[in-house]
Amino acid sequence: MKILKFGGTSLANAKLFLRVVNIIEKSVKKEQTGVVLSAPAKITNYLADIIESKIYDDSMLKIVFISENIFFQLIKDITNIQLSFPYKEVKKIIQKEFNKLKKIVKNIILSKKCPENIQAIVLSRGEILSVIIMKNILKSKKYKITVIDPIKNILAIGNYLDAKVDINQSKKNIENININKNDIILMPGFIGGNEKKELVLLGRNGSDYSAAILSVCLNAKLCEIWTDVDGVFTADPRKVLNSYLLKKISYQEAIELSYFGAAVLHPRTIKPLKKFKIPCLIKNTTNTQSKGTLISQENDVEENHLKGITHLDDITMITLPGFIINNEEKKILSIVKNFSKKNIKIILTTQSSAEKNISFCTFEKNIDKILILLKQNFKSKCKDILNYININKNLSILSIIGSCIYKKNNFLSKIFFILDSLKINIFAITQGSSKNSISIVIKKKNILKAVQNVHNILFSKKKIINAFLIGIGGVGRALLNQIIKQKKVLDKKNIKIKVCAIANSKKILLENSINLKNWQENFNKSKEKFNLEKLNSLLINNSHSNSVIIDCTSDQYLSQQYVHFLSKGFHIVTSNKKANTDSFKYYNEIRNTAFLENKKFFYETNVGAGLPVIKTLQNLFNTGDKLISFKGILSGSLSFIFGKLEEGLLLSEATKEAKKRGFTEPNPYDDLSGIDVARKLLVLAREAGHSIELKDIKIEPILPKSFQQYNNAEELLFYLKEFDAQFLHLIKKARNEKCVLRFVGTIEKEGSCSVKIEKINKKDPLYHIKNGENALTFYTNYYQPIPLVLRGYGAGNDVTASGVFSDLLHTIL
């Protein structure tokens, strides 16, 4: 014997209804089958609208007519597909049922009240009609049918809307029914009958519960619950995109998942199955090929100890102070029992050992009832108790479920780390009595990003970087290309880079994960403007952990937002030198903020593009070394330009060629003025511990100050021709002295810095540096008299992008 239960989404239209018939037929060929049906999708919601309406007028009847027409359309569509279906006969039955319902609703309108017994009758119509339709489909296909009336046979105790089944008596009742072994058994879900044989309901979404009860009563070997998802996932797949299907979970894990909010299961479904050791298989009606999730005594040892993340919303936490509850343990137990009698669900409790405060969480709808009960129970102890009770509203409970969860190494520290990085405060944390769950109380507004990011860190094997790229000039574009090319390599290392934003000074493309293969096309289509307001909105609404702002601009204003970025939970990777060469006060503020916020601030490409300059120096200085002096060619663009001058190009020609190849800053004046080299030298000096400002660096520029007036590259390159002859004279003079000209930055022992054109002879290591190369010579306590020399390309989009890429990866490595 097997029991199949089909939910409302599985019966939403004629095609799905007949697909269910096909599933039943396949099952019947193998073994006798019982079927529990819900109402078609939306029907119960419509019927609930009737009883929840506070306006007692004809609008209630309109809802009845809408529901009736849904059923008429359903059976009409079924008839068009299955011609043998007895359309007229079934339509008469449906009309008769709805005529009864219309009379009931008219009485509700007249009396302006709807007692619970009437509510139960109204709400159950959908399930009853589903069984009538299914019975007639199967009979038209020549199957023999037994319909079990749950009102007569499923004994339920409690109120009319949320009764609990007496399984032993129900089992006896059903065993007394004469069921032919070849019959297909049908029963409407959600419904039971009390001792007076009145219709009662088993709680909203109680059809799962009905299926479990019928499985016990008919001694089924398996209970299958068919729904619109493939089974039980590690999280809600609609909210967590990388959640995955669980092959097996234990009964206890399923109970915990249900209790703490998993929508696939009814909280009371699993307990009777567990008691009678009946496995339960969750399947997808629209994807019958999926193997689903099996719930049984056995656990899947191949899978993670952790099985899922769930959450409950609209939670309120009420805290009773220690002085009120001191020596009142019995009273507390009594109050909790009263809560239960009043159908007030206490989801979890925590107690402070120091102050002996007790906190408990419940749904917000219960607050008023709870406060009344507390006031009544503590009247003698404290007349103004409500003044001392602390109430926290708008909360959610995040729960992590798994077998022997306490054996999972470091998982709590991972959760705390991720919540801290997202700036999410924890109001309470508790472990379930079964030791299969950990629950954390946080603000409701944070629950979605908490669920997504905790799931990523606990269940995903991949380390995820959420990148927000600002600046799509040569370096930004090269970076995107490198990320695309390295995807397979990163996949093997379980690293995933999600680019969530691409922006320039005018607009921004925002997606959860931008498809980089056609990013340019989508960026061009984007109508989102990029400005300070949009940037702040991006920071505030960011729901990703390990989020990284990548600054591939040379924008001063953007660099002045770094402290703000860090304080909002973003790492920063930058090729922009403006932040590190701003005031020394701001320089320190960035680092202090990064430290306090536990965020990374990486800027390797500020000096030497992709060369490992900054990390090398930091490693040296962190292990006790000190800089004595430095000399180097720090500009790849000037290295290229001065090399071309040796080959006979004029200064204007060489500069134009360097700009064309992407070696220069957006405005080449920054290179030729010496300010770009000065900034790089300042970065090195500050790394070495010198507290200096940019103005402290002595700069002897390549160009006269008169060129400062040219604010764009085109203008500068045009007027640069005027300086060609003067510069050619300098080159010839150096050549006569068997030297070459190089633009050199130096740091002396006491920290004095300068940048200027120097004549370099053949014995100097800088003599051969050209074509875009950088060369940096460091004399330190450890590296003398032979210096530490770093040499390589220090300009170009690709090498700079590779340095940014390396920094980006180091945010997680």
Which residues are part of the catalytic machinery? 680
421-424: list long-range contacts, CB under 8 Å, 24+ apart: 421/545, 421/546, 421/569, 421/598, 422/446, 422/449, 422/450, 422/453, 422/543, 422/545, 422/569, 423/568, 423/569, 424/449, 424/450
Cα(382)–Cα(386) distance, integer angstroms: 9
Of 475, 476, 453, the closest CA to residue 465 belongs to 453
Cα(646)–Cα(632) distance, integer angstroms: 19
Residue 510 tokens read as 């925002």
What values do phi and psi take at 269, rounded to 5? Answer: -70, -45
Residue 566 contacts residue 591 (beta carbons within 8 Å)? no
Residue 125 contacts residue 97 (beta carbons within 8 Å)? yes
Residue 361 contacts residue 317 (beta carbons within 8 Å)? yes
Cα(750)–Cα(42) distance, integer angstroms: 79
Residue 400 tokens read as 């992590």
Of 258, 269, 273, the closest CA to residue 222 belongs to 273
Residue with tokens 């180097």: 632
Residue 497 tokens read as 């880079």
Residue 739 tokens read as 């030297």
Residue 748 contacts residue 697 (beta carbons within 8 Å)? no
Residue 138 contacts residue 24 (beta carbons within 8 Å)? yes
Residue 567 tokens read as 């304080």
Residue with tokens 């959908």: 126
CA distances from residue 737 to 615, 734, 759, 765, 766 in whole angstroms, order as listed = 38, 5, 9, 17, 16
CA distances from residue 556 to 284, 528, 537, 743 in whole angstroms, order as listed = 55, 23, 20, 25
Residue 344 contacts residue 316 (beta carbons within 8 Å)? no
Residues 6 or more apart in contact with residue 403 via CB below 8 angstroms: 250, 252, 253, 299, 305, 307, 436
Of 675, 434, 483, 438, the closest CA to residue 577 belongs to 675
Identify the burial level of 242 via C-beta atoms within 10 angstroms of its C-beta, where 0-12 means exposed, 13-18 middle and 19 or more buried: middle
Of 490, 492, 523, the closest CA to residue 509 belongs to 523
Residue 546 contacts residue 465 (beta carbons within 8 Å)? yes
Residue 431 contacts residue 438 (beta carbons within 8 Å)? yes
Residue 241 contacts residue 175 (beta carbons within 8 Å)? no
Residue 606 tokens read as 């500020």
Residue with tokens 């309406």: 53
Residue 334 contacts residue 341 (beta carbons within 8 Å)? no
Number of C-alpha atoms within 13 angstroms, CB side, residue 317? 24
Q: What is the DSSP letter of 804?
A: H
How many residues does the structure list for the chain?
813
